[in-house]
Chains A and B, each alone.
Chain A
Amino acid sequence: MKKLQHSQRFRNRIKLCALFILCAVSPALKAQEEQRKTVSTHGASVVTKSVIIGYAYSDFCISPRSDVKTNFTRIGFSPTMIWKLTDKLFFESQVEFNTDSGRITTVVEYAKLSYIYNKYITIGMGKILTPFGTYTERFEAPFIERLPNTPLGFRHLEDAPNIGPVGSEMGIDIRGGFQVGDAKMNYDLYVTNGARLNDGLHEPKLAGAIEYENFFDNNTNKAIGCRVGYLPFSNSSLEIGGSVNYSKAGDAKSVYKDILARAFSADISYQKAIIPMKTLLNIKGQINYLDVDKASYLNELGTAYSFDNTSDIYYVRISLRPALIKNKYLKKVELLGRYNSANFAKEALWGGLTTRTDIGLAYWLSVSTGLRVAYEFTNYADGTTGEIYLVRFVTGF
């Protein structure tokens, strides 16, 4: 009950914040429009210090096997304010309004104040996109993600286990990039509220699952994590990264208080113009692995059980776009394939292996606006299968 009241209060607070930001944003939008027209002199940063950016999208779905065969499922709108306060101080915040699962949801995706301490060190604090792997921080924004869906397990959903941090968390991070000969490296070190273990008392089916969007910490322990990225080639075409995240996950004073969640991730990003084929090749991939200490939980009948609590999720996505050819229609088409796997702890009540294959096509109207269609085929853990056609119209502004 207390938890419910708390989350209600939290939601109200977020709504108030959103309203406040919107009120602040609308005159700024107008001013920005005027500045776009009037400011063009070099170095006019004294005039515009904030920019409103963001994205909006709308989804349509065809499910041949379901009772409701066609559905306008989701719209989302995310105004984002970025603000250069001084040459060293920067603020960014994104509010997302969407109609997830038929409900209107408002969330502060991130709100972070960063201070550029020197060439190599930037310190940020607030609600941050956790730099664990690359998906959340770099590729999840719908105008960047070229398929109309997110990789299996890589989007934060309420009531679903998180295999490593996906989404945003309250905390502090230190980051930077530097050259190593002709290669480059970058790093992110962070401390956040960290993981929360679902002990199954309220939701026996989710016993042992971890959730990372822990906006108000359930224990004194903080998660420590880092990601290191390496770009071996001087043309920056390839980046490989490794991440770790350690966090005690149980509620303070409970029997689970010492349960540790260790998450690891590896990611890859590669893009290249294949000149003979007049085509752009783009590859992205990430694997997350989560190992949670073994513990005893109660099932729905009140019987104690325990299981080996390790899970992994991964995706690989490949896309080809003949952007260098002359045909003005074909050059806007991008073909995409993605394979997704979510292998949840086998003996958990939420466990099992689900895999999904996505085949898609994007038609780009500009660098950040386009139509996306995809066919997704899923093999569920219980042996059943599902297929859906998805359509998304999206713009970044």
Chain B
Amino acid sequence: MKTLKYFIQTAFLLSLILMIFDSCKTSLAIKEKTGSVLWSENCSRCHYSPDPEEYNDAQWDVIAMHMRVRTNLTQEESEKITRFLQDAN
């Protein structure tokens, strides 16, 4: 069990180092991102994200508000993502 514990902790540390290096690569500024990019980057941070077709436009409207309030997304991100979901379903 001790080995397992050290394994999980070492993996955690290694991943931390990796993530710093990896994420330093520049990606587009948030302002320039499309709704679909923002959706793929933000909506699977906590859970796997349902496809746009899973809900209709009206339902996405309500869910987007729920997620904006729950996860503190910025208004701009939330609006772009909602538009993408409603256009793509």
A contact residues vs B (CB 8 Å cutoff) = 35-36, 39-51, 53, 82-84, 90, 92, 114, 116, 119, 122, 124, 137-139, 141, 143-144, 175-179, 182, 184, 186-188, 229, 232-239, 268-272, 281, 283, 285, 316, 318, 337-339, 355, 357, 359, 364, 367-368, 377, 379, 396
Contacts and interface: CB of A to CB of B under 8 A. Distances in A.
Q: Which 7 A-B residue pairings sit nearest by Cβ, starting from the closest? A: A186-B72, A48-B58, A177-B72, A367-B48, A45-B61, A233-B23, A44-B58
Nearest to B61: A45
Interface string B62-89: 1101100111111110000000001101
Nearest to B24: A233
Contacts of A48: 56, 58-59, 61-62
A368 B56 contact: no
A39 B89 CA distance: 12
Given A272-B19, A338-B8, A179 B58 contact: no
Contacts of B16: 268, 270, 283
A65 B72 CA distance: 45
A229 B72 contact: yes
B81 to A, nearest CB: 12
Contacts of B8: 316, 318, 337-339, 357
B56 A39 contact: yes
Nearest to B50: A367
27 contacts: A35-B59, A39-B57, A39-B58, A40-B57, A43-B57, A49-B58, A51-B63, A84-B62, A90-B69, A116-B69, A138-B46, A138-B71, A143-B47, A179-B31, A234-B30, A237-B19, A238-B23, A269-B45, A272-B23, A281-B15, A316-B8, A316-B12, A339-B8, A355-B5, A367-B47, A367-B49, A396-B47
Nearest to A82: B66
B15 to A, nearest CB: 5
B19 A238 contact: yes
Contacts of A239: 45
Nearest to B15: A283
B9 interface: yes
A182 B30 contact: yes
Contact of A83 (B22, B58, B62, B87): B62
Given A36-B59, A339-B8, A318 B46 contact: no
Given A39-B56, A48-B58, A51-B59, 13 more contacts: A42-B57, A43-B86, A44-B58, A50-B62, A51-B62, A83-B62, A141-B47, A177-B71, A179-B74, A238-B19, A316-B8, A318-B12, A367-B51
A325 to B, nearest CB: 16
Number of chain B interface residues as a range: 35 or more
A228 to B, nearest CB: 10
B46 A182 contact: no
Contacts of B36: none
A39 B19 CA distance: 42
B1 A379 contact: yes
A175 B73 CA distance: 10
A270 B1 contact: no
A124 B66 CA distance: 12
